[in-house]
A and B are shown apart, each in its own frame.
Chain A
C-alpha cells in the first residue's frame, strides 16, 4: 500500500473515532446536564427561596401582631406601665415590619394598610383612654364588637395577603430540585 491510501485510511479512522467518542461524550454530558439545566434547578430554588422568605415574614408579622395585642390586653387589665412600654416596643417593631410588606403583594397592599390602620386607630383610642384614667371606657371599647370585628378581619386577611394567586407551588419546586439531585447522583454513580 502506498503512502497516500495509508494516510487516507488513517484520516478516515481518526475521524470515525472522534465522531463516535464525541457522540458518546455528548450523550453522557447531556444526560448529566439535563436535570441541572438553568430551566429547572435555579428556577425551583428561586421559587423555594421566595416561599421561605414570604412564610418567614408572614410568621414574624403575625407573631408581632399578637405581641401587640397581648401587651395591650395586659395594659388594660393590669394598668401596669411596663405593659405599656412593651406595647410601644412591639408596636414600633410592627410598624417597621409593615413598611416592608408593600412589595410582597402590591395589589392587596391598600387593603392590608386600610385594615391595619383601622385596628391601630382603635388601639390608640384605648391607650388614650387609659392614660386619661378612663379604664372602664377603655375596657368597653376593647370588648366592643367593632374592635373585635376589625381585629378578626385583619387576622383573617394576613394569610391571604401572603398567598396570592401567583405564588408557585412549593411541592413542584421541591420535586424539581429533588429530581435533579436524584438523576445526577444516578448518572455519577453509573460513571
Chain B
C-alpha cells in the first residue's frame, strides 16, 4: 500500500518536472523563433521588386492665355528595385516615369533609398541625403501617423490616418498628407529654371496601406505646381495641375500581393508561436487525454455497434443530399444566362455624333437579339468630356459589376482601360487605338475591342481639293495635346509637305484661345484652307466658332466633324459614327453571348460619310463637281440644318 502511494507520488513528481521542461522549452523556442528566425523570414529580400502602373492627368498652365490648357492623359510607371544589398541595409531605387500615351517621355525621376530590410525603414548613411520614415508604412499599424517619402517630391510627408476601407476583400488603412516640396532640381528643362525661377509643388497625397504587412496597395496624389521667384520666393504663376493614381489592374495585383504578405506575417508572428504553445499543451495533457480517449473510445465502440445500420443509412442520405445540392447549383448557374444584361455607356459628351454612336450601338445589339428593357439594361452616363467625371463613372460601373462597358473617344477609353481589366470594354470614336495604347496587337489577352473612327488624310483632303484645287497653305485647327489630333496633324504634314503644301499648326486650349489663335494665324499667314479636327474641344463647343470663322473670312474649309459642316464648314468626309456604333453593338452582342473581346478585330470604317454645305459653297463662289454631289451622303441646303 505504502509502495503504491510512493510510486503515485513519484509519478506525479516526474510528470511535474516534465511539464516544467515542456513549458521552458516552448518559451525558449518562441523566444528563438521570434527574435532570431522570424525576422529572417520577414525582412525585405535582396531581390525585392515593386512595380505599379499609373494613370496620370496633367493640366498645364498656359502663360499666354493665363488659363489651364485642360486635362491631358498620360501613363506612368512607379517602381522600387533593389540595387545592392549591404550588411545592414539595402540600396533601393525608387523610380517614377511619366510618358505621353504615344510613348514620348514627359518626366522621370529616380532616387536611391537606404533601407533597413528588417523594419523597412530609412537608415541614414553618412554623406547621403538623410531620411527618416518608412519605405511604405509601419507593420502592424494601428493607425498611428508615420513619415513617407514620395519619389516625386523628395520631402517627408507626415501621413495621418483617415479611415479603414475594404479593397477587393482586403482591409486597408487610408492615410493622407498635405504638404509642399521644391521640385526645381527635377525640372531644369523648364524655361528660366533654375536660374530665375523655381518650382514649388503643393501636394495632397493619399496612401492605402495594408496594416499588417505595411505594403502600399495604392496611392493618389493631386498636386498643383507653381513657378516661384528664386530671389523673393514668391509664387509667380502655376506650371501644372496634375494627379496620379494606380490603374485598377495594378491595384488588384498589389491587393493580391498584400494578402499574401499579410498571411505570411500573421503565420510567422502568431501562427508558429501558437503552434508551439499547442504542441506544449498537447505534451502536457497527453497522459490525461490518452486516458480519457481510451475510456471514451470503448464507450463509443459499443454505441457504434448498436447504431451501425443507422449510420450507413445516414451516409447514404448525405451522399444523395450532396448530389442533389450540386445539381441544384448547376441548374442555378445555367439559369443565370437568361438574366437581364447590364451595359454601361459613357457617351463622353452630348455632341450629335456621340449620341448617334450610342444609338447605333443600341441598334447593333438589337440586331443580334439584345433589346433594351427586355434582356438588356443600359446605364447611360455623360462625363461632359471631363477626365475626373469619366473616372468616377467607370469606377461606378466596375463597382456595380456591369456585364459590359461601351466608351467613346480616346481619352474616355484610355481611362476605362486603366480602371478595369476584367469587364469587357467595347469602344468607338477612337482614331488611333494602337498608337494611343488602347489595344496592343502583340498580346492575346485584352478586354478591349471596338471600332476605329479613322479616314485617311488623303481621302479627307481629296474632297476639298476637288472643289478648291489651289491650296498652298493649310491651317490645322485642333485641341492642344489631344493624342488623336496630334497624330493626325503629323499625317497631314507628311502627306502635304511632299506636295509643297505648308501645314500650319493651330493648337487651341479652349474656345477663346481658338478664336484668338485663328485671328492671329489668319492675319499672319492667310492660309488658303482650314482643316478642323474632330477632337473633344471641337465637338464640345469649338465647332461653332470654327464654322463661323471660316464663313466670315470666306475660307474654304473641311472637317471630320459633322456638326462643323452643318454649321458652315464647306465639306466633310469622315467615319459615320452611327455605323461605327452599330458595328460596336454587334461586337458587344458577341461578347454578351460569351465571346472574348480578344477574338474581335478593331474595325475601320468600310466607307466614309461625305457631307457638303452648298450654302457655304455659294458664299465662297465655288462650284461643286457633279460627281461629288452625286457621291455625297448628305447635302446642306439651309444653314444649321441637314
Contacts and interface: CB of A to CB of B under 8 A. Distances in A.
Contacts of A82: 466
A3 B495 CA distance: 94
B495 A92 contact: yes
A89 B309 contact: no
B459 A85 contact: no
Interface residues of A, number: 21
A26 interface: no
B273 interface: no
Contact of A92 (B309, B441, B458): B458
B456 A96 contact: yes
A92 B457 contact: yes
Nearest to A81: B469
B308 interface: yes
Interface string B31-47: 00000000000000000
A93 interface: yes
Contacts of B309: 3-4, 7
B456 A92 contact: yes
Contacts of B142: none
Given A4-B309, A103-B441, A89 B316 contact: no
Given A85-B466, A85-B469, A103-B441, A91 B312 contact: no
A4 B465 contact: no
Contacts of A63: none
Instruction: Identify which of A11, A89, A93, A103 gathers the most chain B CB atoms within 10 Å of its CB.
Output: A89
Interface in A1-31: 3-4, 7, 10-11, 14
A88 interface: yes
A88 B458 contact: yes
B313 interface: yes
Nearest to A96: B456
Interface residues of B, number: 19
Interface in A42-57: 53
Contacts of B495: 92, 95
Interface string B475-504: 000000000000000000001001100000
A163 B309 CA distance: 74
Nearest to B457: A92
A7 B458 contact: no
A53 B600 CA distance: 12
B308 A4 contact: yes
Nearest to B312: A7
A11 B312 contact: yes
Interface string B309-329: 100110010000000000000
B462 interface: yes
A92 B466 CA distance: 15
Interface string A54-89: 000000000000000000000000000110011011
B458 A89 contact: yes
Nearest to A103: B441
B465 A96 contact: no
Interface string B441-461: 100000000000000111101
Interface in B233-277: none
Contact of B462 (A4, A53, A88, A95): A88
A93 B462 CA distance: 11
Given A93-B458, A96-B458, A88 B499 contact: yes
Contacts of A10: 316
A40 B313 CA distance: 47
B316 A11 contact: yes
B132 to A, nearest CB: 51
A7 B310 CA distance: 10
Instruction: Identify which of A3, A86, A90, A96 gathers the most chain B CB atoms within 10 Å of its CB.
Output: A96
Interface in B482-540: 495, 498-499
A103 B458 CA distance: 23
A1 to B, nearest CB: 12
A50 to B, nearest CB: 11
Nearest to B601: A53
Given A4-B308, A85-B469, A103-B441, A93 B316 contact: no
A92 B312 contact: no
A92 B601 CA distance: 23
A85 B459 CA distance: 10
A11 B319 CA distance: 11
A93 B459 contact: yes
A85 B462 contact: yes
Contacts of A93: 456, 458-459
Interface in B403-455: 441
Interface string B587-601: 000000000000001
A176 B462 CA distance: 46
A136 B169 CA distance: 79
Instruction: Identify which of B312, B441, B457, B461 gathers the most chain A CB atoms within 10 Å of its CB.
Output: B312
Instruction: Identify which of A10, A88, A124 gathers the most chain B CB atoms within 10 Å of its CB.
Output: A88
A92 B496 CA distance: 10
A14 B313 CA distance: 13
Nearest to A53: B601
Contacts of B461: 88-89, 92
A93 B499 CA distance: 15
A89 B312 contact: no
A103 to B, nearest CB: 7
Contacts of A88: 458, 461-462, 465, 499
Contacts of B465: 85, 88
Nearest to B434: A100
A96 B495 CA distance: 10
Contacts of B316: 10-11, 14
A89 B462 contact: yes
Contacts of B601: 53
A48 to B, nearest CB: 13
B304 to A, nearest CB: 13
A3 B601 CA distance: 67
Nearest to B308: A4
A11 B313 CA distance: 10
Nearest to B454: A96
Contacts of A4: 308-309
A122 to B, nearest CB: 15
Given A89-B459, A89-B462, A7 B313 contact: yes
Nearest to B462: A89
A152 to B, nearest CB: 25
A124 B499 CA distance: 10
Contacts of B498: 124
Instruction: Identify which of A86, A92, A95, A124 gathers the most chain B CB atoms within 10 Å of its CB.
Output: A92
Interface of A: 3-4, 7, 10-11, 14, 53, 81-82, 85-86, 88-93, 95-96, 103, 124
21 contacts: A4-B308, A7-B312, A7-B313, A10-B316, A11-B316, A81-B469, A82-B466, A85-B465, A85-B469, A86-B462, A88-B458, A89-B459, A92-B456, A92-B459, A92-B461, A92-B462, A92-B495, A93-B459, A95-B495, A96-B458, A103-B441
Given A7-B313, A88-B458, 9 more contacts: A11-B316, A53-B601, A85-B462, A85-B465, A88-B499, A89-B458, A92-B457, A96-B458, A124-B498
Question: What are the 10 closest A-B residue pairs judged by CB atoms, nearest first?
Answer: A92-B458, A89-B462, A3-B309, A96-B456, A7-B312, A89-B458, A93-B456, A85-B465, A92-B456, A92-B495
